[in-house]
Amino acid sequence: MEMNNLIIENMANPHELERIYRKDPKAFKKSFSHAWEQNPDSQVLGVWYERLHFKERANTEKASFIQKGFLFMGILAILAGISTRIIFHFVEQEAIAPINLAFGIIPFIAAYFIYNNTPKKSVIYSIAALFLIFGFYLNMLPLNYKDSMILAYLHFPIFLWVLVGLAFTGNEYSKGSTRLAYIKFNLEYCILYASMAVSGMVLAALTMRLFSFVGLDIEDFYFSNIVLFGAAALAIVAAYLVSTNHLKLAKNITPYIAKIFSPLVLVTLLVYLITVIWVGKNPFLDRNFLIAFNGILLGVLAVTIFSITESGSDEKKNISDYINFALIVLALIIDSVALSAIVFRLSSYGITPNRVAVLGVNILIWANLIWIMLSYMRFLQNKSGPSTIQDAVTKYLPVYGLWAAFVTFTFPIIFK
């Protein structure tokens, strides 16, 4: 009661109220409610009320949201596991193509992001319609493994990845910062999922070993049901954990991965190119070497993009920027050589689905690298900030999705 009187007596003296609070916070908080009830019109006590209770209210709202999101994630994870197992049954019967397994996971990740971001109905309808149209179209095509169909199967996941990106960005799909967040999400997601998958494999090996001790071989059943279900459900769980920042490990480790791998890739690539020139390998005549050359190009592009997205938005240049610029220049050299080799093979050996697809991808990457390189040059010359480099990455992402959709939708028809 004495503390209550002290609070009321010093309502007009904020300094003294602060001193009383710091002397005994628990007693102050306990007595404050009585003082507030007696003086509900006091602005000073109103401020103190918010100060003492705001954190509790915020935590309650946050806990409620997490609980609600967690429940929805759990439902989606179970549905993803069940759907994947059903689809796998038809894949085993060779009734549908194995690429349909993507429909057991990716639409549910998109559904979680739609629930989390609540985009406009037009965005939701567009995503749902594209999933249905492309799924229906792929399964109407003859089930074979000719080059045009294999290319469609390979490009289809890229298109689905862009659709998930649309669900992730929601109403802010045109903003570069939101697209940049999606790229960062992918890197963190891959790290987290890989870590959890390794743990799952260790558990699977231990489980099968334990059952083998009692004379039971459960390998086929375990992989067809438990592992498959778990892998699909885990994909949804990982998306939830990364998007809600529950696990800081992946988020904290990605900048260091980018900084460590960029110089390593640069040195490795330089040594490799010098070795290629030394031994006289020719991508114009060696088809397998040309394929490897393009694989290296895609790897360098991925490392460069992730390094750019993790570089931050500060204006200061550092050694990582010069390493990234050198990587981009090397990637452009590789892409230029690959483009020349593809054009040579097209003119010498004729048109095939594989050559046209590789040509298209290399042209897209070449244009993207030029844009990134010019943006980096302006940044290094202090003519622009790092945001222009990030724009060169994020604004180009839909182009890859459109190309993937084009290959998926038209190649099986053009190259019958």
* pLDDT tens by residue, 365-398: 899 989 988 988 888 888 887 778 888 888 888 8
Continuous segment of H or E residues that includes residue 251: helix 248-279
What span, in angstroms and rounded, lies between the C-alpha atoms of 68 and 410? Answer: 42
The answer to whether the beta carbons of residues 396 and 352 sit under 8 Å apart is no
Residues 280 and 209 in one domain: no
Average pLDDT over residues 15-29: 77
Residue 61 lies in a domain: no
What span, in angstroms and rounded, lies between the C-alpha atoms of 153 and 327? Answer: 30
Residue 317 lies in a domain: yes
In this predicted structure, the answer to whether residue 277 has a pLDDT above a threshold of 70 is yes
Amino acid identity, residue 27? A
In this predicted structure, the answer to whether residue 4 has a pLDDT above a threshold of 80 is no
Residue 316 lies in a domain: yes
In this predicted structure, the answer to whether residue 270 has a pLDDT above a threshold of 70 is yes
In this predicted structure, the answer to whether residue 44 has a pLDDT above a threshold of 90 is no
pLDDT band for position 195 (50/70/90)?
confident
* pLDDT in the model for residue 119: 86
* pLDDT in the model for residue 60: 46
Q: How many CB atoms lie within 10 A of CB 92?
A: 10
Residue 27 lies in a domain: yes
Residues 302 and 210 in one domain: no
Q: Which residue has the higher pLDDT, 78 or 389?
A: 78
Percentage, residues of the chain above pLDDT 70: 88
**What backbone phi and psi angles, to 5 degrees, belong to 12?**
-90, 5
What span, in angstroms and rounded, lies between the C-alpha atoms of 328 and 321? Answer: 11
Residues 82 and 194 in one domain: yes
DSSP per residue over 30-59, as a string? HHHHHHHHH-TT-HHHHHHHHHHHHHHHHH
* pLDDT tens by residue, 279-323: 777 677 666 777 777 777 777 777 777 777 766 555 567 787 888
Least confident of 38-52, 185-199, 242-256, 368-382: 242-256
In this predicted structure, the answer to whether residue 45 has a pLDDT above a threshold of 90 is no
In this predicted structure, the answer to whether residue 110 has a pLDDT above a threshold of 90 is yes
* pLDDT in the model for residue 85: 92
The residue among 209, 226, 246 that closes a domain is 246
Residues 82 and 170 in one domain: yes
- Which residues have CB under 8 Å from 238's CB, separation 6+? 189, 192, 193, 196
The answer to whether the beta carbons of residues 304 and 331 sit under 8 Å apart is yes
Q: Which residue has the higher pLDDT, 271 or 125?
A: 125
* pLDDT in the model for residue 246: 59
Residues 125 and 181 in one domain: yes
Residues 24 and 140 in one domain: no
Task: Give which of 395, 356, 387, 19 is closest to 155, Cα–Cα.
Answer: 356
* pLDDT in the model for residue 48: 74
Total residues found in the chain within this entry: 416
Residue keyed to tokens 């289809």: 156
Domain hosting residue 273, numbered range: 255-416
* pLDDT in the model for residue 248: 59
Residue 197 lies in a domain: yes
Q: How many CB atoms lie within 10 A of CB 165?
A: 21
Q: Which residue has the higher pLDDT, 400 or 416?
A: 400
The residue among 220, 246, 272 that closes a domain is 246
Please tell me the total count of domains within the chain: 3
Residues 294 and 383 in one domain: yes
Residue 277 lies in a domain: yes
In this predicted structure, the answer to whether residue 331 has a pLDDT above a threshold of 90 is no
Residues 233 and 266 in one domain: no
The answer to whether the beta carbons of residues 179 and 169 sit under 8 Å apart is yes
DSSP per residue over 315-382, as a string? S---HHHHHHHHHHHHHHHHHHHHHHHHHHHHHHH---HHHHHHHHHHHHHHHHHHHHHHHHHHHHTT
Residues 104 and 235 in one domain: yes
Percentage, residues of the chain above pLDDT 90: 18
The answer to whether the beta carbons of residues 400 and 369 sit under 8 Å apart is no
Residue 54 lies in a domain: no
* pLDDT in the model for residue 100: 92
What span, in angstroms and rounded, lies between the C-alpha atoms of 287 and 358? Answer: 12
* pLDDT in the model for residue 233: 93
Tokens of 375: 């943006």
* pLDDT in the model for residue 133: 92
Average pLDDT over residues 1-9: 68
In this predicted structure, the answer to whether residue 101 has a pLDDT above a threshold of 50 is yes
Long-range contacts of 366-369 (CB under 8 A, 24+ apart): 366/332, 366/335, 366/336, 366/339, 367/396, 368/301, 368/392, 368/393, 368/396, 368/399, 369/301, 369/328, 369/331, 369/332, 369/335
What span, in angstroms and rounded, lies between the C-alpha atoms of 86 and 350? Answer: 42
0.85 exceeded by pTM? no
pLDDT band for position 76 (50/70/90)?
very high
What span, in angstroms and rounded, lies between the C-alpha atoms of 92 and 228? Answer: 13
* pLDDT in the model for residue 314: 54
Residues 35 and 163 in one domain: no
The residue among 227, 246, 265 that closes a domain is 246
Is 144 strand, coil or helix?
A: coil
What span, in angstroms and rounded, lies between the C-alpha atoms of 414 and 405? Answer: 14
Residues 207 and 107 in one domain: yes
Residue 147 lies in a domain: yes
Residues 278 and 234 in one domain: no
